[in-house]
Amino acid sequence: MEVVTTNKQYLENIRSLLDQLEQTQEEAIELVSSVCAKAVLNGKLLYFFGTGHSHMICEEPFYRAGGLACVYPILESDLMLHRGASKSSAYERIEGLGNVVISHTPIGEGDVLFLISNSGRNAVIVDAAIEAKELGVTTVAVTSMNHTTNVSSRHPNGKRLFEVCDYVLDNGGVIGDASVTLEGLSQKIAPTSSVIDATLVNLVIVNTTEKLLEKGVTPPIFTSANTDEGDVTNKSILEEYRQRVPSL
């Protein structure tokens, strides 16, 4: 009998979720990619916002080798982890803060906003989605439907992220995210959301790029800055987008 090691169990969990993604999210990815391609054609930007660990998915498509230049990560330090993890958890529950975060960006009609939250329950992420929609922004939730449908909202309106967004990309993860059980330990380990969320986002970028090429438009794609040709290739792209994406 084959012994299933902990490492193999985790890898099998990831493979299973990737297979599930392929089987269940194709239509959603296609729809979201079409919206993104239209936005890029119209000179708009793709925004990304998440709190806690989810902020990493906002950085994944930003200034990325092989990634689109028209990506704007909303990186609010107090909602990330490096300024205090427990403080971040407290801040993401504050009603109205999401409105403030969105209002301090140039996001507007025709742009697309990806909102990343595994639980989708906290006030900041829900408020951000609502505020953006009022501005005419297309909103995309990146979440775990298994998790979010098994918890209550922490927003006064009782809504979770998937209930206030135009589109939903489901990472398929289990409640609580951690996926591996070890004998002698009550808590599960090995979360899956970061791997699957990053895959979802990159699939959207790939499909968006393909759709732009089909329309005869060559999109602004970064080359790795750590190749010999990277600095030269990226120079004109940076000059074009730095005024619109300050983080560049």
At 9, list the tokens.
Answer: 């169990």
Q: CA–CA separation, 33 vs 203, rounded Å? A: 9
What is the reported pTM? 0.96
Task: Dump strand ranges (E) for the chain.
Answer: 46-50, 71-74, 112-116, 138-143, 167-170, 178-180, 189-191
pLDDT tens digit sequence for 186-234: 999 999 999 999 999 999 999 999 999 999 999 999 999 999 999 999 9
Residues of the chain with pLDDT under 70: 1-4
pLDDT of res. 3: 47
Q: CA–CA separation, 103 vs 135, rounded Å? A: 10
pLDDT of res. 23: 98
pLDDT of res. 180: 95
pLDDT of res. 4: 60
At 4, list the tokens.
Answer: 């299933």
pLDDT of res. 5: 78
pLDDT of res. 109: 98
- 48 CB contacts (<8 Å, ≥6 apart)? 57, 58, 61, 62, 71, 72, 73, 74, 113, 114, 116, 201
pLDDT of res. 218: 95
